[in-house]
Amino acid sequence: MCFYHGCLFPTIYSIPNPPPSSGHQCNSLPLAGRAGQLASFKANTFAAAWTGVQRQEVVCKRLDDSSIVQNNYCDPDTKPPEKRRACNIEPCSPEWFIGDWSECSKTCDGGLRTRAVLCIRKMGPAEEKTLDYSACLTHRPAEIESCNNLPCPPQWVALDWSECTPKCGSGFKHRIVLCKSSDLSKTLSAAQCPYGSKPPTRMRCSLGRCPPARWVTGDWGQCSAQCGLGQQMRIVQCLSFTGQASRDCPETMRPPSMQQCESKCDGTPTSNTEECKDVSKVAYCPLVHKFQFCNRAYFRQICCKTCQGQ
């Protein structure tokens, strides 16, 4: 009978029948959700995917219609203790853990991507154990697969740079740039590659300051006189280190472009047996020699000895 709060109906503590502790599927609906369905248990299980605990709930019921009422309608001294028992004691089945795919190894022409695939068993709320692949009974997911299988477009291929030209000062170096197929096996027309991404074929370069310009002379020409004194010429140029005409050579260092020359004259004696001698006065022939008249046939004849011995 109820003696609390002036109740007029008989009450008694009642222990509802507990749900089965086994036979339910691991990783099924959490038991907190199942408690609402059973209506007699509050927070029946504290874990669902591993070994957990079920707690019995003691409620106060009317004896006449077995409806649940507030606990203050029952005698607290007659309230039975709550009971607990283990549930989900069977281990969860191993399952595959599948990671995210990595980036493809190539952007085109077929590459590969990988991901982590592990066989694990959940041991607790924050504990997992990695098992051998054979422990997972379902088909093992792929760890590697092909990707980006579309063919690559043609591409520019640049060869090595040439040497800097000229060898000193500011200049340029050049290289050949080809349009090649994606596998580099074929050379294509330049129109098949994107013009905007073509690498440069010429680049400025410098190998340091050039040596100063210098005077360069040619060979002497023939003497202007076939006999005796004359003149001969040669070309004198101011050239840079690269062989270009320059105005930087000092005039004080300019070599001569003309010099005096002398051609040997053949003697013309009157006869083979006649002695070559001076037929003029003794003082006359030295003057002929001094003023370089021996190249003239007349003076060479009358001053034969003097002109021959020069």
Averaged pLDDT for residues 248-273: 76
Averaged pLDDT for residues 145-155: 92
Q: What is the pLDDT of residue 281?
A: 56
pLDDT band of residue 170 (cuts 50, 70, 90) is confident
Residue type, 294: C
Q: What is the pLDDT of residue 266?
A: 65
Examine the pLDDT at 114 and tell me if it is beyond 60.
yes
What letter would DSSP give residue 165? B
Q: What is the pLDDT of residue 294?
A: 80
The rounded percent of the chain whose pLDDT value lies above 90 is: 35
pLDDT band of residue 199 (cuts 50, 70, 90) is very high
Return the structure tokens found at 16: 């509802």
Candidates 163, 166, 183; CA nearest to 175 is 163
The C-alpha atoms of residue 198 and residue 211 are separated, in whole angstroms, by 37
Asked if residue 68 lies in contact with residue 61, where contact means CB atoms within 8 angstroms, the answer is: yes
| pLDDT tens digits, 6-61 | 444 555 555 555 555 444 444 433 333 222 222 333 333 344 445 677 888 888 88
Tally Cβ neighbours within 10 Å of residue 113: 17
- Structure pTM? 0.38
What SS3 state is found at 186?
Answer: coil
The C-alpha atoms of residue 42 and residue 40 are separated, in whole angstroms, by 7
